[in-house]
Each structure stands twice: as structure tokens, then as C-alpha cells.
Structure 1
Amino acid sequence: MKIVPFSVFMASIMLASCATPQTRVETGLMDAGLSPRMAACMADRMVDRLSLVQLKRLQSLARVGRTDFERVTVDGFLYKIRALEDPEIFAVTSKAALVCALDS
């Protein structure tokens, strides 16, 4: 087992606490396969409409693995969201996807 110096540990804690929920959602959306532009737009619309528990459930999509965003369709992404079986997450995400797709 490797022992990490206390200063390195504290620095990592401080950096992790700097990430806002919006940044985390945006990163998670990109990890799930959305383009950076679409992820930024959607995160802005979603972060205030979902609870922290729901946002953490969304984060689980990023664990599936990074996907090439040029191959992911919005429909394919919403299929992944539907698998979470939370109607509110699906409604908020699909509305954000629709508005952001029309804005582009």
C-alpha cells in the first residue's frame, strides 16, 4: 500500500471541491458521448432542475465508458437516460436536449 503525503491528499480534496455541480454534469455528459457544446448547453439547463441524488444517478452513465461523440445520437443518449427509470430525469434531460439541439 502506497502512503500519500498529507499535502497531496489535501490538494486533491481541494481540487475536487472546486468542481461545481454544473461542471460535473457537463463532464459526465461528455463522458456519456455528447459533444462538448451540447454537454455545456444541457448541463446549464439541467443542474437547477434535478436533485443531487438525480445528478449522481446521471453520473453513473459516465462509468459505462467514454464514447466517440460523433457517433452518439441524441436518441441514443436518451435511450441510456431512459434506462435509469426516473421519469423526472428523462423529462428534464430530453427537454434540455431538444432546446439545445434547436439552438445549435
Structure 2
Amino acid sequence: MLRQAQHERILLGGLIIALVAACSPSKLAYGQVKSAMMDAGLSEANSACMAERMTDRLTLSQLNKLKQLKGEKRGLMDYVAAVRRVGDTEAIEVTATSAALCASGLAREKRY
């Protein structure tokens, strides 16, 4: 009985590790990134689309910098301008392309 319980715990531990490995840390941040973008004034649709793209392409550190962009309600171009002030070239590129693709409806993430 004790061996079976130990075996089950080992299997459960392995399953948890596999599930955590399957979910990238940045994907776990999706909800927070989407909320932060909505707080920054973006629409829910654009926030969802952009958060999907950005969490696939940026590190947690980069995403945390962008989550700090709160303030007056702003549109997409104002948001991109605010990201430029962060000074992270990759974050700027990903944000700008995500904004353009999501706003135009060309992002595959927008089609879901």
C-alpha cells in the first residue's frame, strides 16, 4: 500500500511537471497582459489579439515592463508610442506589428 501511494505521488509529480512545461510562463501571463492593455485604454478585442501575439513573442521580463504602461485612456498608436519610451527594441517591434495586424484584422489571432 505504501509503495502504491509513493508510485502515485511520483506519477502525479511528473504530470504536474509536464503540464507546467507545456504552458510557457509567458502564456500564463496572457490574462494579466490583456488586462493591463485594457487598463491602458485599448479595446478588449485588440487587447486580446495583441496579448496573444505578445505573450508568444516576448519574455516575462519584457511583458512586465509593458504591464506598467497605465495612465490615460489611449488608442493603439498612443500605446505604441508609450512602448517606445520603454526603450526595448524587440518589445517595440512586436507591439507595433501586433497593433497593425490586430487592428487591420490580418492577425491570425484576431480570427478566432
Alignment TM-score > 0.5, same fold: yes
By how many angstroms is 1:51 displaced? 0.4
Alignment-derived partner of residue 23 in structure 1: 31
Counterpart of 1:73 in structure 2: which amino acid? G
TM norm structure 2: 0.66
Please give the per-residue CA displacement for 1:44-80, whole angstroms capped at 9, x wherever unaligned.
1110100010010001113xx3x44xxx232111110
Question: Alignment partner for residue 32 of structure 1, among 30, 33, 40?
Answer: 40
CA–CA separation in structure 2 for the residues paired with 1:60 and 1:39? 15
The alignment status of 1:80 with 2:87, answered yes or no, reads: no
Alignment-derived partner of residue 8 in structure 1: none
CA–CA separation in structure 1 for the residues paired with 2:68 and 2:37? 10
Unaligned runs of 5+ in 2: 1-27
Unaligned runs of 5+ in 1: 1-19
Q: Secondary structure at the match of 1:28?
A: helix
TM norm structure 1: 0.71
Alignment-derived partner of residue 60 in structure 2: 52
CA–CA separation in structure 2 for the residues paired with 1:77 and 1:41? 14
Q: How many residues align?
A: 80
CA–CA separation in structure 1 for the residues paired with 2:84 and 2:69? 11
Alignment-derived partner of residue 91 in structure 2: 89
CA RMSD of the aligned region, Å? 1.7
- 1:60-79 counterparts in 2 under 5 A? 60-62=68-70, 65=71, 67-68=72-73, 72-79=74-81
Max Rg structure = 2
Between 1 and 2, higher relative CO (CA 8 Å, sep ≥ 6) is seen in: 1
Alignment-derived partner of residue 12 in structure 1: none
Structure with the higher fraction of residues in helix conformation: 2
